[in-house]
Chains A and B, each alone.
Chain A
Amino acid sequence: MSGGAGRARRTLAVCCVFVAGVARAQFAAQVGVASDYIYRGVSLNDGRPTPTASASYDAPAGWFVGGQVAETRFYGGHGSEPLWVADAGYAHALTSRLSWEVGATYSIFTHFAYWNYAETFAGISAQNWNLRLYYAPNYFGRQRRSTYLEFNLTHPLGEHLRLIGHLGAQHSEPARGGSDDLVFDASLGAGAKFERFDLQLLWIAASHANSVYPVPSSDGRRHWLLSAACAF
């Protein structure tokens, strides 16, 4: 009888903690449209516009989960297909200026399940910049290890406008009989935020074609990207 009462109390306590956590958690969602789906300097939608949707859930202790879906077109595919990316991680403020994070993502290809892959990341962030290192043991299901380092910077130009800059470097293990791939990508542009609307116009470039990605055309290395999103 006492064991049952103890279990009930423990269950109640866990429920209270969960309910309290849920009460303080924050759920955010965003839908938008972009003139292309550019990922690490590579068009994953063959230069075509794509709708996007994302959601994230922030627990009070620093845990977060989220997900995104966007339209993609791959070599050998039959038209467009959604690419789902789920993420989870933990972020913690180091000081009033800096915070660190660790987490993982899992990418799900609707028609090419054997491309599904997991990637871990760690990074530090300040108010206007972040630095992240990603590692995937089986990037895009190619049996190749991949490391990606990115630096993102925003600079406010006023209450609504901001400059946006990005530098990235991806190192992929050599394919059978090939050599290492080291590809740099960068972007520069501007963003505007009005209440719940966010607009971005970016110019994106990659140092050379990245053979890792199974895209129809890997020649395009310079892109303009216009995107708009509305948050809920």
Chain B
Amino acid sequence: MRASIAALVLFLFALFGAAAASAEVPPSSTAAREILVMLRLPPPHYRPGANYGGSYTDSAGSAARRRIAESLAREQGLEVLSGWPMPAIGVDCYVLRVPPGANLDDVVRRLSQDRRAEWAQPMNLFRARAAEGNTAAKASLYSLQPSARLWRLDEMHRVSTGRGVRVAVIDSGADAEHPDLIGRIEVERNFVDTREHTAEAHGTAVAGIIGARGADAGVVGIAPASRLLALRACWEEAAATLCSSFTLAQALQFAIGEDAQVINLSLSGPDDPLLARLIDAAIERGASVVGAVDADAINGGFPASHRGVLAVSDRAGAASASILYVPGADVPAPAPGGRWNFVTGASFAAAQIAGVIALVREVSPAPAMRQSAAWVRFPPSSPDGAAGYVDACATLQRSVPSLNCASARAGTARVSR
């Protein structure tokens, strides 16, 4: 009985501590002075006294790593802000704040040389690949969708709607109450702050292009029966949509843990070792990872440039065999508040490819969609500017030979650029 009372007292104390620790921190104002330190997470193993339970992230081990992180921070004059286990790549990731006046690169170099740390890196910022200045769209949008005109989406939906395929949309907040998305989002998580629901333009558009349910007046998602995981790792600031290494890593770890089969990353930024390792782990587990190409970056930007990631661009001009080209201009998409916009950018080209992968994966459980060679392109002789773009219908036809793509090709109309 005494033990039970003691346990309850501890429980209440723990609840109080958790509530006190959930204060919100603005994501971007401090990101420039933050770094990440990774500590080794030992493989799970027998723990004394762990009968009837036990988990990878055992409390005692977590506390030990937290202590090491605090020790590292103290020695360098830093402050530990938060930590997050990344069991998919065998590390715990800690966010440390660097005080004003300290050289960030020097701190990262010193911590990387410390044997207690696996590695350290700057907190990188990533930017969604969307053009500014979306224009409002009106009802009956299906006929205006590039996927409808170029691929005959209705024909493709006769054989596949992406049913049961788990698609992780790692982006800004998706509006789960939008008529196009009601009932479409299976899991919603926020890795930016503590708000439960956050409706933002970029994430709502990307989620809708991939998986909108096709309401009467709205858009039809490429994979309207897929299972959407809306993982908020980005936030809107002024006219931009930004994400950090840490929020993206948390979302990737979650997507891996949830066995997402398709992971969409409509964003780009500098090379990032933490995200690279998480993407490798996702690919090793069979996920298809899609990244938007930054046309201004020499290598297309990260993660599109990372090995195994399907790089998607909306500009068919600079042809590259390793990049998939999809029309990404004036794409009708849902917007927060029950509205619709025409959106433009590689972000939305990537979202369409993520949807097509979901269609293929429904009918072909282990497709080799990671190689760009697995994708069919419209030939140079295609009419009205379709040349070079992905031919999704013909790509899906490889898995479903009965699919009739002739009408799709014959009906190819002018493609927006």
Contact = CB atoms under 8 A, between A and B. Distances in A.
Given A101-B43, A123-B46, A125-B45, A191 B53 contact: yes
Interface string B23-61: 000000000000000001011111111011111101111
A87 B48 contact: yes
B298 to A, nearest CB: 30
Contacts of B338: none
Contacts of A160: 18
B412 interface: no
Contacts of B157: none
Contact of B59 (A125, A166, A196): A196
Given A24-B115, A54-B60, A226-B4, A192 B46 contact: no
A108 to B, nearest CB: 12
Contact of A49 (B3, B14, B116, B256): B3
A91 B45 contact: yes
Given A28-B60, A121-B46, A226-B4, A164 B17 contact: no
Interface in B320-368: none
B62 interface: yes
The majority secondary structure among interface residues of chain A is: strand
A26 B13 contact: no
Given A96-B284, A154-B55, A228-B10, A60 B40 contact: yes
Question: What bracket does the count of chain B residues touching chain A fall in?
Answer: 35 or more
Contacts of B63: 28, 30, 196, 231-232
Contact of A164 (B7, B48, B53, B256): B53
Interface string A180-214: 00000001010111111111101010000000000
A187 B43 CA distance: 24
B218 interface: no
Interface stretch (A1-9, A66-74, A135-143, A170-178): A66-74
Contacts of A204: 52
Interface string A20-60: 10011011111001110011100000000110101010101
Given A62-B43, A64-B42, A152-B53, A227 B7 contact: yes
A221 interface: no
B24 to A, nearest CB: 15
A127 B56 contact: yes
B6 A93 contact: no
A192 B18 CA distance: 11
Contact of B18 (A126, A152, A194): A194
B15 to A, nearest CB: 7
Nearest to A57: B64
Interface in B160-181: none
Contacts of B6: 33, 228
Interface string A93-108: 1011101010101000
Nearest to A204: B52
A49 B51 contact: no
Interface of B: 1-4, 6-7, 10-11, 13-15, 17-18, 21, 40, 42-49, 51-56, 58-68, 87-90, 115-116, 256-257, 281, 284-285
Given A26-B61, A231-B62, 20 more contacts: A23-B115, A26-B42, A28-B58, A38-B51, A54-B47, A54-B49, A58-B42, A87-B48, A91-B45, A99-B45, A101-B44, A105-B46, A121-B46, A127-B44, A132-B46, A166-B53, A196-B66, A225-B52, A228-B6, A231-B63
